[in-house]
A and B are shown apart, each in its own frame.
With several copies, the nearest count.
Chain A
Amino acid sequence: MTKESNPSEKSDQTAITLDELTPEKIKYSVEAIIFAANKAISLEKIAALFSKQELSDKNCLHHAIEELMQDYQQRGVELVEVNSGFRFQAAQNTAPRVARLWDEKPQKYSRALLETLALIAYRQPITRGEIEEIRGVSVSSQIMRTLVEREWVRIIGHRDVPGKPAMYATTRQFLDYFGLKKLDELPSLDEIRDLDVINAELDFGDMLKTEETGKHSKDKQPD
């Protein structure tokens, strides 16, 4: 970063002293990275967050991880290596108690997420920007990630405009989850408008029947 231009010197040497990354600092950085990664992270990915000079000693990451494993040997969480890399997990003796925490009801999805999902369902293929335009607020990456992770939504291409934004569509799993055979089994907008009916008695079998009778075919052009 703060590179002094001193080209004649053995730059490796100077880089190290400039950056002043002691083995201890490397260790704590690795600690924070593994904790923050939120899932197991490979050594390569950890290494990618350092510059070449910082990791001039090839083994320093290994050392750091070894030491961390030792540091956490007797604590409430432990550092373990799994197939895809390293992660912290609740230690054996604390795991049962921690499990109680996870037993709790999962959090409800936010209104923002529901609205985003609904728009993708009814307006696919749609870009994040288009969703934001309709909703009037930005859509967090977190929401898109959750929807993709839940496999309700996927990227089916990129719009050919500057920035090549991804276009999202719903998946088969989305249909399965909501017990639909096809997308057009989703309630029509008219029905949604009359949600009082839904509120009164939620029965989608009925709803679909009413849809048949509803028959409104004025203008079909989406966009």
Chain B
Amino acid sequence: MSQVTPGPQQQEMPFAYVQGAPVTELPKDLYIPPEALEIFLEAFEGPLDLLLYLIKRQNLDILEIPIAEITEQYVKYVELMQDFQFELAAEYLVMAAMLAEIKSRMLLPRPELLDDEEADPRAELIRRLQEYERFKKAAMDIDELPRMGRDTFPVYLEPNYSSPEQEADISMKELMLALQGVMQRAAMFTRHNIERETLSVRERMSMVLEKINNEGFTRFTALFEYKEGKGGVVVTFLAILELSKQQLLEIVQSETYGVIHVKPLSGGTLDND
């Protein structure tokens, strides 16, 4: 839509180009502060919702949609969206086409022989608008139902205080099946992101993090357990590097060849829960 015509107007930047013509001002009847436009458009749940808004704004009944007027306003919004380079959902464009079609059919002389159902080109649109409006309202009704955790708070006795709490068992298999499920959904299987080696690094990351969180400044060397041998040192080193990369700790050396310290970057807070 918007062709960037090299506009000579210095005094005022055109606000938008509608069909090539520069627009310095939004039409009065649909003025929205530009910065609010995005939020405004996000407030609509699609073309039917936008149409309902346009109709309701003029205190009109759905049954009496002035197609020409509404179509024009609708199309203006769609153009606005484009000018602001919103990713314009196909649904909005489909609706624009549908409106245009209804409009053109209404401008034609009505064939007299058609039965009533087909006589009014708006019938299908009206049906859809009404249907949508019902559920829009139903959604609001549901939102107002007393909801657990917001309006209703079920109360129970503290379970089984006399004997240790009954806790469900999990088998490793269940855990693995769960992981499989979530991985498949997240399509993480496409690459072998996590492997045995990295798991031990991850475990070590937790340990290092806990240690430095407890102690604040920690000597770099204190993080290594030499009795673990070369393998252990490497794992710890990788863990420190990974933590550093994730900005969870900082490696500090105050002077050249000085002692290297490691300190937590997460604000030093550690929940001991």
- Over the window 175-204 of chain A, the binary record of Cβ atoms lying under 8 Å from chain B Cβ atoms (1 yes, 0 no) is 011111011101111111101101110101
- Interface with A: B2-10, B30-38, B172-180, which one? B172-180
Residues of A within 8 A of B157 (CB): 32, 35-36, 77, 87-90, 98
Central interface residue in A37, A95, A195, by most chain B CB within 10 Å: A195
**Would you mind naming 10 contact pairs between A and B with Cβ atoms under 8 Å apart?**
A35-B156, A89-B152, A95-B162, A108-B168, A111-B181, A122-B194, A178-B142, A179-B152, A184-B197, A214-B68
Interface residues of B (CB under 8 A from A): 19, 45-49, 63-64, 66-69, 71-72, 75, 89, 91, 95-97, 99-100, 106, 110, 116-117, 119-120, 123, 126-128, 130-143, 145-162, 166-168, 170, 172-183, 185-186, 188-189, 191-203, 205-206, 209-210, 213, 242, 245-248, 264-267, 269-271, 273
Central interface residue in B145, B175, B247, by most chain A CB within 10 Å: B175
- Smallest Cβ-Cβ distance to B176: which chain A residue: A192
| Beta-carbon contact of A160 and B248 below 8 Å | yes
Interface membership of A27, Cβ < 8 A: no
Per the 8 Å Cβ criterion, residues 101-156 of A in contact with B are: 102, 105-109, 111-112, 114-115, 117-119, 121-125, 134-138, 148, 150, 154-156
Q: How many residues of A contact B (CB 8 A)?
A: 88
Residues of B within 8 A of A137 (CB): 45-48, 89, 91
Interface membership of A164, Cβ < 8 A: yes
Interface membership of A43, Cβ < 8 A: no
| Beta-carbon contact of A109 and B242 below 8 Å | no
Known: A125-B248, A178-B172. A114 touches B203 (CB 8 A): no
- Smallest Cβ-Cβ distance to B271: which chain A residue: A155
Minimal beta-carbon separation of A142 from chain B (angstroms): 10
Residues of B within 8 A of A37 (CB): 156
| Beta-carbon contact of A35 and B155 below 8 Å | yes
Residues of B within 8 A of A114 (CB): 139-140, 142-143, 170, 174-175, 177-179
Minimal beta-carbon separation of B116 from chain A (angstroms): 5
Residues of A within 8 A of B19 (CB): 220
Interface membership of A62, Cβ < 8 A: no
Residues of B within 8 A of A159 (CB): 246, 248, 266
Q: How far is the CA of A99 from the CA of B180 in the complex (A)?
A: 37
Minimal beta-carbon separation of B3 from chain A (angstroms): 14
| Beta-carbon contact of A117 and B142 below 8 Å | yes
Residues of B within 8 A of A135 (CB): 45-46, 48, 132, 135, 182, 185-186
Interface membership of A210, Cβ < 8 A: yes
Known: A111-B139, A192-B131. A177 touches B148 (CB 8 A): yes
**How many A-B contacts are there with CB distance less than 8 Å?**
356
With A106-B166, A182-B203, A189-B193 given, name 10 new contacts (CB 8 A): A32-B157, A87-B157, A95-B151, A99-B153, A115-B178, A125-B248, A134-B131, A134-B135, A159-B248, A179-B145
Interface residues of A (CB under 8 A from B): 32, 35-40, 77, 87-90, 95, 98-99, 102, 105-109, 111-112, 114-115, 117-119, 121-125, 134-138, 148, 150, 154-160, 164, 166-167, 169-170, 176-180, 182-184, 186-193, 195-196, 198-200, 202, 204, 207-208, 210-211, 214, 216-223
| Beta-carbon contact of B119 and A148 below 8 Å | no
| Beta-carbon contact of A167 and B141 below 8 Å | no
Known: A122-B138, A187-B141, A192-B176. A207 touches B66 (CB 8 A): yes
Q: How far is the CA of A60 from the CA of B136 in the complex (A)?
A: 44
Residues of B within 8 A of A187 (CB): 138, 141-142, 145, 172, 176
Residues of A within 8 A of B245 (CB): 223
Residues of A within 8 A of B196 (CB): 184, 188, 211
- Smallest Cβ-Cβ distance to A32: which chain B residue: B155
Q: Which 5 A-B pairs have the closest CB atoms?
A: A137-B46, A114-B178, A118-B179, A169-B206, A106-B150
Q: How far is the CA of A202 from the CA of B64 in the complex (A)?
A: 8
Residues of B within 8 A of A108 (CB): 168
Partner of A195, one of B46, B96, B126, B143: B126
Minimal beta-carbon separation of A52 from chain B (angstroms): 24
| Beta-carbon contact of A189 and B194 below 8 Å | yes
Minimal beta-carbon separation of A121 from chain B (angstroms): 7
Partner of A186, one of B142, B248, B269: B142
- Smallest Cβ-Cβ distance to A94: which chain B residue: B153
Residues of A within 8 A of B97 (CB): 223
| Beta-carbon contact of B138 and A211 below 8 Å | no
| Beta-carbon contact of A150 and B167 below 8 Å | yes
